[in-house]
Amino acid sequence: MSLTYPWFLLGLLSLAIPIALHFFELRRPQRVLFTNVGFIREVKLVTARQRRLKHLLVLLARLGALTFLVLAFCLPFIPAPLQNEQAGGHTAVVLDSSPSMEVENETGQPIFEQAQQEARSLVRAMPASARFRIAGSGRESVSGAAYQATIDEMRVSGHSGSLRADLNKVQAGRQPGQVFIFSDFQKNSFSPQLLEEIDKEQEVFLVPLGVKAAQNVYVDSVALEDAFVRTGADLTLRVRLRNGGSAPAADCQVKLFVEGRQEASFRTSVAAGSTSTSTVQVRLTSDQIQKCRVEVTDLPVSFDNTYYFTLQPSPKIRIVGVAGRQEAAVAGVYTNEPLFAYTGSRAGRVDYQQLASANLAVVEEVERVDAGLRENLRRLVQQGGTVVVVPPAGAAARESYNQLFRELGVGTVQWQPTGTPVLRDIAAPSRQNPFFQDVFAEQNPRTVMPKASPVLQWSRSGTEILRMRDGDSYLAGFTSGRGMVYLFAAPFGGGYSDFPTQALFVPVLYRLAMQSYRNDQQPAYRLNQRAISLTVPATASAEQVFKLQKDSLAFIPAQRTQAGRVVFDVPPGAEQPGFYTLSHNGRPVTTLALNFDKRESQLASYSAAELRQLIGSSRPNVHVYEPGNGATVAARYRAERVGTPLWRYCIWAALACLLAEVLLLRFGNRKAAAAPVNVAA
């Protein structure tokens, strides 16, 4: 047995008090009355024996009470086999509250509830003076009662941070003590490299909570076959399901809902660790953003059975054409398709307000690009728009175009000498080029390719789309700001090209227009996503903030507005998936779909044996405690590193001694009735 505070043994000096009282009590004279002088000697002997025994027992009871009381203040304990010098100091707790903690264990209990019970029991293993710190609670150090209350208030959240971030928070102070990590230790989020970042001065205890082997089918992605969402037309959706569990899922039912009405239903089977892709048809009946969800009937894991996403009907692509001649070649292409909103104008009569709101601007053989047009084209690409330049053949326009190319960041462009155009063949486009993806149903080797006589040459480009057969570039794209600049090497008219009359002309122009449209809002976001960037409405002011609302919950996220866009963080209070409305000045701007991180649905996790193998012998300060078999983590920690406290037994022993003293004083004075004696006369 060892004593925590041995200096309290000085209190044993108080044993002299009952001893002194005992001897003082023996020296006091006592008067004894007798009825018959013939029995004086016998009565004296009996009375003295009884009195001496009672006083001795009372003395022993008093000495025992004082001795055990002093020992209780010394806090005696039986030393643990692995005594921890830091035990009872500062205890930091990392309680994983990620969605995967909703999975049930072998007994059918969610492992998050099991983690809460294990974490609460740590108070019983620590001294009353111990202080606790919980990662993510925002409180530096709390008492045991406040710590248990905080643990009870914690809930599973899709906004929870990673184990790495939580561990860095609790280790930031480098306070002596121990760290307990309660988690399922998923293999896609917990890495062996995290063990190398653990402070070697702290004792770290990993508590893996095992999950029951089960299937877990969830929506991995929802993709549109067409980049443009049209109202009143059939849309093809590809729903890819993945089984993140360890058991196969057979005959799993899947339903697709659009604005509350069921649009499709099908059944599928997914093997463990595999994917399954199904194609469904939907039709939108409104121009407003549509709330959609995919529901999967999959038990017992159900936290990720619903996937939320939005479908935004595509508006018309705004195209502004600036032509230097009477008949623009691109005008007939874009005006015949209802998907495009084309506005044509001559050089010097451009509506700059329309140009600022356009998705695509086509500068076709303009003889001279003035300063106003150059500035507005530069602003367009800086804001994410697209500019297509078709150069003229005249030498007088070269200086203004060179200045335009410099402002747009195209780089060095060389002009060819003027003269009689000599047409050369344009090479067939590569089907591996992403620009021509899904453009050609099949490649015909006898297709007649257009011819051109380039007037421009360049050495650098971001994207090569079409080349001449001799290797020179004909159509290339250049990144400029947030937008793109596409440059043709030859004019469309004047005998420099027959490209406008060939079959390739229309799909290339269509593709240029479609790539100019960018829907910056994604169909779905993650709850733990760091930031979301969206285009700010034209009427929005910087003084008024954006709000995020779901049902009765309203949040004001951290946000900043710049360059016509708002960037905001997903607020920590947004814990559950669903549809959130983004509003500005009380007016709805858009609807966002937030879901759990898909990595949470991958249930593969490290077992206690695998964690011990990862730790090895290089990290003696990292230990693995596996709960179960009727023993809590706190009980095992106390038995191995704190020891068995004995102060409670000392208190009970002291009370027992006091009770014995009371009984002796209460019943020890009773005398047995003496038998009558007859004396002869």
Q: Which pLDDT does position 125 carry in this prediction?
A: 82
Q: Compute the distance between CA of residue 514 and CA of residue 317 in angstroms, rounded to an integer.
A: 8
In tens, the pLDDT along 234-277 reads 899 999 999 999 999 999 999 999 999 999 999 999 999 999 99
CATH number of the domain enclosing 546: 2.60.40
Q: Which pLDDT does position 138 carry in this prediction?
A: 66
Sequence-distant (6+) residues with CB within 8 A of 344 are 320, 321, 323, 328, 331
In tens, the pLDDT along 317-346 reads 999 999 876 677 888 889 888 889 999 888
Which candidate, 611, 615, 593, 508, places its Cα nearest to that of 548?
A: 593
388 part of a folded domain: yes
Q: Which pLDDT does position 14 carry in this prediction?
A: 77
Q: Which pLDDT does position 550 carry in this prediction?
A: 92
Q: What is the pTM of this model?
A: 0.76
What sign does the dihedral 333-335-336-339 (CA atoms) show?
Answer: positive
Q: Which pLDDT does position 681 carry in this prediction?
A: 41
Residues 504 and 584 in one domain: no
Tally of domains in the chain = 4
- Identify whether the C-beta of residue 298 lies closer than 8 Å to the C-beta of residue 305: yes
Q: Which pLDDT does position 674 carry in this prediction?
A: 46
250 part of a folded domain: no
Residues 453 and 582 in one domain: no
Regions in the chain scoring below 70 on pLDDT: 1-2, 4, 25-48, 77, 79-89, 138-139, 171-176, 325-326, 438-447, 461, 537-543, 563, 629-630, 643-644, 668-681
Q: Which pLDDT does position 487 carry in this prediction?
A: 94
Q: Which pLDDT does position 196 carry in this prediction?
A: 78
Query: Which residues, listed in sequence order, are joined to residue 185 by a DSSP beta bridge?
Result: none
3-class secondary structure, 410: coil
Q: Which pLDDT does position 591 carry in this prediction?
A: 94
Residues 559 and 616 in one domain: no
579 part of a folded domain: yes
Residues 168 and 71 in one domain: no
CATH number of the domain enclosing 388: 3.40.50.880
What sign does the dihedral 310-314-315-317 (CA atoms) show?
Answer: positive
Q: What are the DSSP calls for 19-84, one per residue?
A: HHHHHHHHHS------S-GGGHHHHHHHHHHHHHHHHHHHHHHHHHHHHHHHHHHH-EEEPPTT--
Residues 338 and 426 in one domain: yes
130 part of a folded domain: yes
Q: Which pLDDT does position 481 carry in this prediction?
A: 84
203 part of a folded domain: yes
Containing domain of residue 108, as a range? Answer: 90-211+605-642
Amino acid at 169: K
